[in-house]
Amino acid sequence: MQLPKVRGANLARQTLTFPEDFAGALNLVFVAFQQWQQRDVDGWVPLAEDLYQHTPDFEYYEFPTIQRVNFLARTFINKGMRAGIPNEATRRRTITLYIDKRPFKQALNISTEDQIWVFLFDAQGRVLWHSSGAFTQEKGIGLQTAVASQLVAI
């Protein structure tokens, strides 16, 4: 699987294109489709932050993924998200995608929007590992194992 080329703006108002703008050799991405899914993303963040602090060339991102909407709707949504996320590092890591979701989901084999999806990408956007749903110890071990195996290859 491969991340299709996507463009979005982070909550610090920077426009980014992925996979080109991935900052790490290993990039963890949380894809969420509904506002209530933020709590599931938040459940993964302690492990992501630990990996970020202790793993060379590792970065993580949140991709709230929304169907294309007009400029006014985007402005309203972005303002609301910015107000809810005061932390600057989190704002830089949160890139809202206003896209045609169907081809995006097909490329990443996303079968439902009823849960979050978690992907470990290399710098070129190839999927190295993936999971979905709320954090569990088993999923965390799976991610840590995938990261460790990739470090040997880097």
When pLDDT is averaged across residues 127-146 and rounded to a whole number, the result is 97
Q: Where are the domains of the chain?
A: 6-153
pTM for this prediction: 0.88
Of residues 34 and 81, more confidently modeled: 34
The whole-angstrom separation of Cα 139 and Cα 132 is 9
CA–CA separation, 109 and 129 (whole Å): 12
- The answer to whether domain 6-153 has CATH 3.40.30.10 is yes
SS3 86: coil
Instruction: Please give the pLDDT value at position 133.
Output: 97
Q: What are 48-67's pLDDT values in tens digits?
A: 999 999 998 999 999 999 86
